[in-house]
Amino acid sequence: MSDAPQALPLAGVRVLEFTHMVMGPTCGMILADLGADVIKVEPLKGDSTRHLLGSGAGFFPAFNRNKKSLAIDAKSARGREILLRLAADADVFSENFKAGTMAGLGLDYEALSRLNPRLVYVSHKGFLPGPYDHRTALDEVVQMMGGLAYMTGPEGRPLRAGSSVNDIMGGMFGAIGVMAALAQRERTGRGQQVQSALFENNVFLVAQHMMQFAVTGKPAAPMPSRISAWAVYDVFEVKDGEQVFLAVVSDTQWEIFCRAFGFADLKADPRLGSNNDRVRARAWLIPALRERLAPYPAAELSRMFEAHGLPYAPITRPHDLFEDPHLNATGGLTDLTLPDGRATRTPLLPLSMEGRRLGLRMQPPALGEHTEELLRAAGCTDAEIAALVADGIVGIPA
């Protein structure tokens, strides 16, 4: 696949993105990486994620590449007029604000679909329409009420997953819905409203545990205390206090494992003849394996497991991934410039097309970086642009 923008799958698709935080920006980033022309509409002070601290400090650079920034006062009559001009020519309008916000601005689906019947309008919310849709939702809120925190933490200690999984995956489903609606528009000539939601996304994530109950009649136990489907599927503490995850998930792998480590006695033990036998024997088998493997360095165990085609994993911290040899060899990370000018790298979408990764075309934009360009495209004259800037309707970088 060529790096030229026109060669990308969504080249020629224009997206007006009215989003903040993670869920909506993720949807827009996916569409942008696939080639869409994404216009990020920001208030004059900017998307709030530009200024977050702590765990939110990486939100803006992580989810806003390949976009253009339009800084505008959407509450003003002149600001709305410009946004309506842009919406009239857009293919997609994306928003993730509280219910009623877009209607209050005259930018809801009903209003914009009358203006542009071909428009695909995607809303990212806490809940799909129903009894909960008035609630304010966050990723952690729906993890708690949707069973994911219960499954992640130890018994009695619900714990959120270590990433904004519902925000990111909810944005992904929003993008899937947009692409499906664009494909349907090719047949019908009309756009439609697409909705994605945090809670329903979370329920989809725990569906396997719901179905476990349906099949077995027994509630799924939290992951730290679950009955594993495989006998050897654990983190092992080994020499010098290091940790490594090791897995032996089939009868063939068990035979290979025992042969590689010289555990002939375990291979011959009739109590361990099949995977299910070994699952039933975990209470004594896993402590025995921990004792036998404890003298090995983690690197040696990793080398042996890799040499024999057995599953294993080092215990990696997120910042260690910048130096991951696979990511660096395969182009999984791309150069990125942070808002303060520092250089770093960031992960690309986890897919390739025609053997190539979907790369970076534009850095995460400075606030209002493309305001002037977009106003000209909307038909504004130099005098009009100057007046809009002077009156505080739009923002242009100094």
CA terminus-to-terminus distance, the chain: 37
- Which residues fall within 8 angstroms of residue 124, CB to CB, at 6 or more apart? 19, 23, 24, 27, 94, 95, 96, 170, 171, 174, 195, 196, 197
Distance CA(198)–CA(24), nearest Å, equals: 11
Residue type, 33: D
Contact between residue 348 and residue 357 where contact means Cβ atoms under 8 Å apart: yes
On the CB side of 228, how many CA atoms lie within 13 Å of its CA? Answer: 19
Side-chain-side CA neighbours of 11 within 13 Å: the count stands at: 11
Q: Give the integer Cα–Cα distance in Å for 69 and 366.
A: 7
Phi then psi dihedrals of residue 171, to 5 deg = -65, -35
Which positions are annotated as active-site residues? 167
Q: In terms of C-beta density within 10 A (0-12 exposed, 13-18 middle, 19 or more buried), how is residue 358 classed?
A: buried
By DSSP bridging, strand 232-237 and strand 394-395 are unpaired
* CB 164, CB 22: distance < 8 Å: yes
Instruction: Name the phi and psi angles at 46, rounded to 5.
Output: 95, 160
Residue 336 phi, psi (nearest 5): -145, 145
The contacts of residue 47 (CB under 8 Å, 6+ apart) are 20, 25, 40, 60, 64, 367
Residue 100 structure tokens: 């009623």
- CB atoms < 10 A from the CB of 197, how many? 25
